[in-house]
Amino acid sequence: MPGRVGIIAGCRTPFAKAGTAYRDLTALDLAKACVRELIERTEVDPAAVGLVVMGQVIPSVKAPNLGREVVLGAGLPAAVPGHAVNRACASANQAIADVASAILAGHAEVGVAGGAECLSDVPVLHSRNMARALAEASRAKGLLGRLAPFARIRPRDLVPDAPAIAEPSTGLTMGESAEKMAKENGISREEQDRIAYLSHRNAAAAIDDGRLAAETCRVFVPPRYEAVVEADNLVRRDASPEALAALRPVFDRRFGTVTAGNSSPLTDGAAAVLLMSEERAKAEGHAPLAFIRSWAVAAVDPGGQLLMGPGLAVPKALERAGLALADMDLIEMHEAFAAQVASNIQALESETWAREKLGRRAAVGKVDPARLNVCGGSIAIGHPFGATGARLTTTLANELSRRQGRFGLISVCAQGGMGFAMVIER
């Protein structure tokens, strides 16, 4: 029996606003930088790694299997298999669950799990007509033959097709969905801005006292490797309730409450954790920061309130762990939007939600604000979709260990109405 799955360590690149520090890099560049550093810091034998799983939500068309490319680019032996996963914003959480499953099944003893996103490098597509004309032209003979397919091209065919951060099944953007949740759940602008303010305040404190800085590696920017990115660039030390209150709503300009300040920003970055079976960790003298106790995935209808998945996934993971929300010493809740955080907390604390959605009489429990996102959250630090889950896991494991806590909870909402939750223990 492999016993439990230990979280040995985690590492991430600094997170940067899309289009800034990493504007010339790819998700693979970022993923390689953090996995290389993770391997070096933990001094694990690269040949001992049984698999690498990496999450990415908007994959490169040219290198879609981020897991395998990281193996080949980060100095791991070519014999290590790797794959990519996509569970939207919970992709790195899914990568961690995949590696944990492989360890629990006895298929591996050591694995790397994480993810990356580089929104500075999203694939921008040609229209279907333009793509067809290009393909026909490449097969045609002679100059006239090559030009002929373009005679059909109309101005609208020249408009590039960039991926939208929208729900394919409903067409609503994530921001519009958050706006809908704020309205239907009665989440005030003040409450959203309060969550955003705390996110920045806690993140700034955790950077200043070195807690978050210890989780990040330096990224030397190719091709000359002279520029180096050493710190997150989204956290605002000067965040204030007044400045947040002055921002205009973005997704419903007239009646809305969701602003650039209380939304997670478009972000580039990568993060990864090293997982090991308890037995192997003991044999090699690695002291895990924490162990994985349980996890769960759930989903709601995206046509309703899109980002309510955690309201179902959290109670499921707690039940599998045989624990209650009150047992959690710390909670890391992904902040896609402050409205989504407040809505999910409302659901967990609601008897109506428990009765109607979970078939239970009592509410899941109260979320103690003093235990929530104590090192800041995605609003302040940023949210590279594929990477966030590994950031949450690293911070939770480190902080739980620092505080000598016993149990920690991770909660993530994701596109498609999905939610992911994990309980870790020490």
Residue of 243, 299, 324, 358 interacting with ligand COA (CB under 6 A): 243
Minimum CB–partner distance for residue 233 and ligand COA (Å): 11
How far is residue 184's CA from residue 305's CA, in Å, rounded to a whole number? 9
Residue 165 touches ligand COA, criterion: CB under 6 A: yes
Q: Which is nearer to ligand COA, 90 or 95 (CB)?
A: 90
CA 215 to chain centre: 15
C-alpha 408, offset from chain centre? 17
The least CB distance from residue 348 to ligand COA, in Å, is 19
Residue 399 beta carbon to ligand COA: minimum distance, rounded to whole angstroms: 23
Per the CB < 8 A criterion, the answer to whether 386 and 27 are in contact is yes
Four-point Cα dihedral 263, 266, 269, 273, nearest 10: 40
Minimum distance between the CB of residue 426 and ligand COA, rounded to whole angstroms? Answer: 29
**The one-letter amino acid at 153:** I
Q: Which stretch binds ligand COA (CB under 6 A): 37-45, 148-156, 261-269, 270-278?
A: 261-269
Among 59, 111, 115, 175, binds ligand COA (CB under 6 A): 175
Pick the binder of ligand COA from 31, 33, 174, 381 (CB under 6 A): 174
CB closer to ligand COA out of 237 and 402: 237
Our CB check for ligand COA shows the closer of 288 and 302 to be 302
Does 10 sit near ligand COA (CB under 6 A)?
Answer: no
Establish if 260 lies at the interface with ligand COA (CB under 6 A).
yes
The residue range among 105-113, 135-143, 238-246, 294-302 that interacts with ligand COA, by the rule CB under 6 A, is 238-246
**HSE-up (13 A, CA, CB side) for residue 205:** 11
Q: Does 336 bind ligand COA (CB under 6 A)?
A: yes
Q: Per-residue DSSP letters for 268-296? A: EEEEEEEEEEHHHHHHHT---SEEEEEEE
Q: Is 236 in the site for ligand COA (CB under 6 A)?
A: yes
Q: Does 48 bind ligand COA (CB under 6 A)?
A: no
In degrees and rounded to multiples of 5, residue 286 shows phi and psi of: -90, 130
Using the minimum distance from each CB to ligand COA, give the nearer residue, 263 or 305: 263
Give the shortest CB-3-to-ligand COA separation in angstroms: 35
Pick one of 21, 27, 89, 112: the residue that binds ligand COA (CB under 6 A).
89
Other beta carbons within 10 Å of 350: 16
342 sits near ligand COA (criterion: CB under 6 A)? no
Nearer to ligand COA among residue 337 and residue 407 (C-beta) = 337
According to DSSP, the residues that pair with 297 across neighbouring strands are 420
Distance in angstroms (rounded) separating the CA atoms of residues 55 and 140: 39
Minimum CB distance to ligand COA smaller for 42 or for 346:
346
Which range binds ligand COA by CB under 6 A, 263-271, 289-297, 310-318, 361-369?
263-271
Query: Is the Cβ of residue 337 or residue 353 nearer to ligand COA in the bound state?
Result: 337
Q: Which is nearer to ligand COA, 165 or 231 (CB)?
A: 165
181: three-class secondary structure by DSSP = helix
DSSP-derived secondary structure letter, 358: I
Q: Which residues are catalytic?
A: 89, 383, 413
Which residue from 10, 261, 309, 384 is in contact with ligand COA, where contact means CB under 6 A? Answer: 261
Residue from 257, 240, 19 nearest 120 by CA: 19
Say if CB 132 and CB 74 are below 8 A apart. no
Which of these, 183, 180, 125, lies nearest to 157 by C-alpha position? 125
Contact 117, 102 (CB under 8 A): no
- Which residues make Cβ contacts (< 8 Å) with residue 293, sequence separation at least 6? 4, 321, 323, 407, 423, 424, 425
φ, ψ for residue 229 (rounded to 5)?
A: -100, 120
Query: Which helix (H) or strand (E) covers residue 115, if one does?
Result: strand 110-118
Q: Pick one of 35, 239, 296, 400: the residue that binds ligand COA (CB under 6 A).
A: 239
Question: What is the Cα–Cα distance from 35 to 38, expressed in whole angstroms?
Answer: 5
User: Cβ 265 to ligand COA, closest distance in Å?
Assistant: 4
Q: Does 299 bind ligand COA (CB under 6 A)?
A: no
**Alpha carbon of 261 to those of 143, 371, 380: distances in Å?**
53, 22, 9
Considering only 57-65, 100-108, 179-187, 239-247, which stretch makes contact with ligand COA by CB under 6 A? 239-247
Site for ligand COA in 375-404 (CB under 6 A): none
CB distance 417 to 181 below 8 Å: no
The residues of the shown chain that bind ligand COA, judged by CB under 6 A, are: 89, 165, 174-175, 236, 239, 243-244, 247, 250, 260-261, 263-266, 336
